[in-house]
Amino acid sequence: MLTELILTPDPIVIPASPAEALDRAGSGAIITFLGVVRGQENGEPISGLEYTAFEAMARHQFELLFHSAGERWPITAIRLIHRLGWVPAGEPSLWVEVASPHRGEAFAACQWVIDEMKRVVPIWKKVRTA
């Protein structure tokens, strides 16, 4: 399984899909998710989010998540980019790509990775009001 993790303070640049490698691995579905910072939190306007992380542990937890996802579904690739630092409202803070032989598996794995990431990966957000 191809995996890639990027934690960055820079704006997310969506990478090109590694179509040739994924095709050889038998991928029939590539699911991508882009999480964008909303302009409000709990009904109040915000200017953005400040993300902080215990980066070494975050990387370790992501490795465990990717491995667990690969055991649950026949995934051929998982790639994830998460912003750290200041992310203004309207900009992406998370990009996830999951490739699998079939769409149902890819959708399920992508949602599971995001849900588990929010539960176990030590990345925190602080709201800045507008």
2-129: CATH topology:
Aldehyde Oxidoreductase; domain 3 (3.90.1170)
Q: What is the pTM of this model?
A: 0.94
What is the percentage of the chain residues whose pLDDT exceeds 90? 87
Say what the pLDDT of residue 79 is. 94
Please list, residue by residue across 63-76, b when 16 or more beta carbons sit within 10 angstroms of its beta carbon and e when fewer do.
Answer: eebbeebbeebbbb
104-112: long-range contacts (C-beta < 8 A, 24 or more apart)? 105/29, 105/73, 105/74, 105/75, 106/29, 106/30, 106/31, 106/73, 106/75, 107/29, 107/31, 108/73, 109/31, 109/69, 109/72, 109/73, 109/75, 109/78, 110/31, 110/33, 112/69, 112/72
Rounded CA gap, 66 and 70, in Å?
6
pLDDT in tens, 11-43: 999 988 776 667 767 889 999 999 999 999 999
List pLDDT tens digits, range 47-62: 999 999 999 999 999 9
- What residue spans define the domains of the chain? 2-129
